Structures are given as C-alpha cells and as structure tokens.
Amino acid sequence: MTTVMIDHTKNKIHPHKFTLWVGIGSILMMFAGFTSAYIVKRNMANWQSFDLPGAFWYSTGIMALSSVALWMALKAFKQRDMRRYRWMLAATLVFGIFFILTQVLGFTQLWDRGITLKANVSYSFLYVIVGLHALHVLGGIITLVVMSLKAFNNRVRSYSVIPVELISTYWHFVGILWVYLLLFLIMIK
C-alpha cells in the first residue's frame, strides 16, 4: 500500500511577509486618517492653500528610479547574478538618499516662502503627512544599508530571497504611497 503525502506549506504565506502586510495595512490606515482629517479641516475659515515646491516633483522621479533599481536587484538575486544584485541594491540606496535630500530641499523652499509648521494648520498637515512619509522612507533606507553591507560582505552568504522580497514590497509601497500623497496634496488644496 502506498501512502501519498501532500505538502500544504506552499500555499502558506511566509510569517515575515504576513507581518509586513499587516504593517502596510497599519500605515495605510494612518495615512487614510491624516488625509481624511486634511479634507475635513480644509473647510475651516482660516485654511490657506499652498503650491508644492518643484523639489517634490524631482523626488517623485527619483523614487520611481529607485523602484526600478530595486526591481532589477530582486530579479538579479533570483537569477543568482550577485554582482548585478549588489550594484542595483546600492543604486536603490543612493536613490533613496537622494529622495530624502530632495524632500529636505522641498521643505527648505516651503520654509523660505513662509510656509512653516506653525504658520497655519494647513501647513502643519503638510509637514506631518510628508514628514511621516519621509520617516517611512528613512526606515527603508536603513534596511537597504544593512542589506547592502551584507551583500558586499564576501564572508556572508545568504541565498534566501525572502529579505529581498520584503524590502522590495516595502519600497514599492512607499513609492506608491508617495505618488498618492503628492497627487492628493495637489488635487485637494
């Protein structure tokens, strides 16, 4: 008599991926709350509209380039092309740093125009929403630094695709979130 065993583990999600998706859900809820509050508060009598600085548009392009670089890094990792993986991961890290720098430049431009954190509640919302997004990008940058250090360390050999898939999912998420926030701030003045 032959016994057939079926492996059901292929249909299960990795625990780290599940945790990441729960975290992404939480982040989405937080930003949904802030953007909802923004919509409600903009009906106040003292609400002041503002134009976003050009640096925010440049940062959007940089974020798109970083997503492409990380997509290429994941693809290279899956093909075991470690040289290309390392350089695409490093490129993603550099683009991430440039994203933060252009955000700082954008806030400097806003500050120079008198759009400060305490000047008006509408400006405060801008600083909180965009600043929280920048903190989430910074978390991704820290992860990219750690992963890059491991990737360029010849003594560390890890062939698990899970960490690369996790940072890829997270990074693409913060990129899409930025595009949403930028469009939201442009359309809902």
11 occurs within a structural domain: no
25 occurs within a structural domain: no
Give the separation between CA 163 and CA 143, rounded to whole angstroms: 10
Q: What residues make up the domain containing 55?
A: 50-187
> Containing H/E element for 124?
helix 121-152
pTM of the model: 0.88
21 occurs within a structural domain: no
Q: Are 69 and 88 in contact (CB under 8 A)?
A: yes
36 occurs within a structural domain: no
pLDDT in tens, 25-56: 999 999 999 999 999 988 888 888 888 999 99
13 occurs within a structural domain: no
149 occurs within a structural domain: yes
The CATH number of whichever domain residue 141 belongs to comes to 1.20.120.80
5 occurs within a structural domain: no
- Listed range (1-15, 21-35, 106-120, 173-187) with the worst mean pLDDT: 1-15
- What is the domain count for the chain? 1
